[in-house]
Structure 1
Amino acid sequence: MEVFRALLDPGADRASRRRGLWLYGLALFLGQGGVLLLLSLFLPRAFHPALYLLAFLGGLWLYRQGREALKEEGPLAPLVAVGLGAALFFFLGVMGLLLRPQGLWLLPLGLALGLNLVRRAERLIAGGRGP
């Protein structure tokens, strides 16, 4: 598709690049959301207090990696940040499924932080402020 090719071309129309970024992010988030839905049927509960610490530290690490990716030069930086945002959503989603029902709040948290990285990547493409 044209909008995905525009993502790799820094000289392309910014509106096409932003649209492509959102389509790429939407595909990643929907795909991983579908996998999380399937996992919810088979993944057993494994409540342990240390899993909250793992979820917090792992989520923080992925978020920082996404923010650092946006500071890099090159046309792939926004794509990497969006990919890391989707990975953050998936990671916190799996942790939330393991810690359910109390840990299900990690799913919307992962989605919010992942979408935050998508918005930051969009701002970078639009030529606004960086991370």
Structure 2
Amino acid sequence: SQHYNLSTALRQSWTGLFTFTFILQAPLVLLGLHPAVIAFVFGFNLVWQFWIHTETIGKMWGWFEFIFNTPSHHRVHHATNPRYLDANYAGTLIIWDRMFGTFVEELEEDRPRYGIVKNIGTFNPLKVAFHEWIGMFK
């Protein structure tokens, strides 16, 4: 979306059915995690992701911003500004981005612009779902 609001959080990929991404969770089960725990964590992450899709909330408390993914951090993730590309991948804990060098702070003087680097200009659900796949195969 070129707009950043709570409806942006509601879009979820349905193409995982074709790519068998659930196989990526198999090692967690093999390590002894109960499938219900994995499902709970997945659900918690979806709920967390919902509330951070807003421009209404600015910066939060320093300690909270240091540990958790916040609206400010997630705006950077969705931004197409060159300095914000490929940053802030966190679902819930931003500390992973800090540890792996993918953290970028949102700057007041460089407000995020949303969308994708080359917007596709359509609302066709098939084109939206598969345009990147087509680009990769080309």
Q: TM-score, normalised by structure 2?
A: 0.28
Q: TM-score, normalised by structure 1?
A: 0.29
1 or 2 for the larger relative contact order (CA 8 Å, sep ≥6)?
1
Of Structure 1 and Structure 2, which has the larger fraction of its residues in helix? 1
